[in-house]
């Protein structure tokens, strides 16, 4: 429809003829006048029609017949039907919706909707997920994915301007990249393949290949039967890896600059809409982000009255909330890098501290009380990699293709992986990644 005008462009046009198209959000069918709120992908506009309720077929002219037909069509419109309307645009500050309206001249129903809508504003999250394509028509849901587009474009721009190379790694793997317990097995001809938990091995492969710096935005899979608000079995992972790092500090610096670039772009383009629809003032974080070693973070949390019950030396969700609260109170910051995790709870490929192999050159990034990313300097020395893999109970023979990367020279390198939906959830203060995932996949959801 080449002559169609998006709603967001109407305000800039002079009064006059215009064609708009979208779906019916509201119909007010009054005795003397009819109002239709039409919404498209960019916004909503009020359509108005002076109702012609009666028609004498013997004396009516063509114009009267057309006006009567439009009135009848509007009276029969179902919520959600897609329509195309041609009419006269008029700017009128008395109109609450955008200060303009379109007086209908002709109306065509392009696709009629069933009159009974299966979800409502107060439907449960699960019910809304069942009818996600209808749920996504809501302006708030629409905005989430426009924000996602802006955010990812800003990340890509940051990387590309700094000579990172975008790669797309396989999602079918011959062996585990981390824990076999979280792998989805799939039949692969006469054998077995695994859905990739992360692009870890393959983005590391780019380092001995001489790419220097790489990034990927792509799907990842975790066979984790978690039903929390922040877990999914399929998610979009944001990954980066770069050569010639001195430590994980280099990775953290790139990571924080990247996030500032992304959030800045979102605030500049969507800040007013976020305030209107989400009721929050998005803040761009200052640089650098606070950094706290894990041992110190655990002590801070304990001093706040919460003792982490787990014995594996990791933070738990309440510990993450507590250290975030401390950082917010102390530094006024929404982000914190928790660093120097124990080697016992980190993957075999994380580099260990020189002189203290019980600790790793690694970090978790926590945002508004929730961990969004793990990053580290990687071990690039083949003998130590083999030794550390064995310590984790992994069979070096099954990792042979990965270990081969390191037999022909690889520079010191590091990177991170970060969940896109989780970042958006925390940015917009939503309560579940189901809201910020286009189509969610979890242990009990494979539809729609």
* Binding positions for L-aspartate: 178, 222, 374, 378
Q: How many residues does the chain have?
A: 448
Distance CA 195, CA 191 (A): 14
Closest CA to 363 of 344, 347, 341, 346: 341
Q: Measure the N-to-C terminal CA separation of the chain; round to a whole number of Å.
A: 29
Element (H, E) at 227: none
Distance CA 23, CA 259 (A): 36
Q: Which residues pair with 417 in a beta bridge?
A: 239, 374
Binding residues for ATP: 371, 419-422
Distance CA 142, CA 23 (A): 14
**H/E/C letters for each residue in 380-398?**
CCHHHHHHHHHHCCCCCCC
User: Cα Rg for the chain, rounded, in angstroms?
Assistant: 28
Instruction: Tokens for 319, please give them.
Output: 């510990």
At 9 the three-state DSSP class reads: helix
Instruction: Tokens for 361, please give them.
Output: 């050159």
Cβ within 8 Å of residue 147, ≥6 positions away? 266, 270, 274, 424, 427, 428
Binding residues: 178, 222, 371, 374, 378, 419-422
Between helix 317-331 and helix 294-303 the angle, nearest 10°, is 90
Closest CA to 220 of 208, 202, 246: 202
Residue 21: phi, psi to the nearest 5? -150, 145
CB distance 414 to 362 below 8 Å: no
Distance CA 57, CA 77 (A): 23
Please give the distance of CA 133 from its chain centroid, rounded to a whole number. Answer: 17
CB distance 369 to 320 below 8 Å: yes
CB distance 16 to 3 below 8 Å: no
CB distance 360 to 295 below 8 Å: no
At 101 the three-state DSSP class reads: strand
């Amino acid at each position: 429809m080449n002559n169609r005008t998006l709603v967001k462009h109407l305000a800039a046009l002079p009064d006059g003829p215009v064609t708009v198209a979208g779906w019916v959000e509201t119909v007010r069918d009054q005795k003397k006048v009819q109002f239709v709120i039409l919404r498209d992908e960019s916004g909503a506009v009020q359509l108005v029609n002076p109702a012609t309720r009666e028609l004498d077929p013997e004396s009516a002219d063509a114009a009267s017949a057309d006006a009567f037909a439009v009135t009848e069509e509007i009276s029969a419109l179902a919520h959600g039907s897609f329509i195309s309307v041609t009419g006269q645009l008029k700017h009128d500050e008395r109109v609450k919706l955008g200060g303009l309206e379109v007086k209908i001249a002709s109306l065509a129903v392009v696709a009629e909707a069933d009159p009974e809508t299966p979800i409502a504003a107060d439907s449960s999250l699960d019910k809304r997920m069942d009818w996600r394509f209808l749920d996504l028509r809501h302006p708030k849901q629409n905005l989430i994915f426009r924000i996602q587009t802006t955010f990812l474009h800003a990340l890509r721009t940051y990387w590309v301007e700094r000579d990172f190379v975008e790669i797309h790694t396989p999602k079918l793997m011959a062996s585990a990249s981390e824990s076999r317990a979280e792998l989805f097995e799939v039949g692969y001809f006469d054998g077995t393949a695994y859905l990739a938990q992360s692009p870890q091995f393959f983005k590391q492969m780019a380092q001995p290949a001489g790419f220097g710096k790489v990034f990927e935005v792509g799907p990842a899979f975790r066979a984790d039967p978690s039903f929390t608000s922040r877990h999914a079995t399929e998610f979009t992972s944001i990954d980066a890896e770069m050569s010639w790092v001195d430590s994980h500090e280099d990775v953290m610096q790139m990571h924080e600059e990247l996030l500032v670039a992304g959030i800045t772009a979102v605030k500049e383009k969507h800040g007013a809409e976020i305030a209107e629809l989400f009721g929050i003032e998005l803040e761009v974080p200052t640089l650098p982000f606070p950094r706290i070693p894990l041992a110190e973070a655990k002590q801070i949390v304990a001093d706040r009255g919460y003792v982490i019950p787990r014995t594996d030396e990791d933070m738990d969700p309440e510990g993450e909330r507590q250290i975030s609260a401390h950082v917010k109170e102390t530094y006024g910051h929404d982000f914190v890098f928790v660093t120097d995790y124990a080697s016992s709870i980190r993957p075999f490929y994380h580099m260990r501290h020189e002189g203290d192999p019980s600790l790793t050159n690694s970090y978790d990034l926590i945002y508004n009380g929730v961990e969004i990313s793990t990053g580290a300097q990687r071990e690039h020395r083949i003998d130590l990699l083999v030794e550390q893999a064995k310590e984790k109970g992994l069979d070096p023979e099954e990792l042979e293709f990965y270990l081969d990367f390191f037999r022909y020279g690889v520079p010191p390198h590091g990177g991170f992986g970060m969940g896109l939906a989780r970042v958006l959830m925390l940015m917009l203060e939503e309560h579940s990644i189901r809201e910020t995932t286009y189509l969610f996949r979890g242990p009990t959801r494979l539809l729609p």
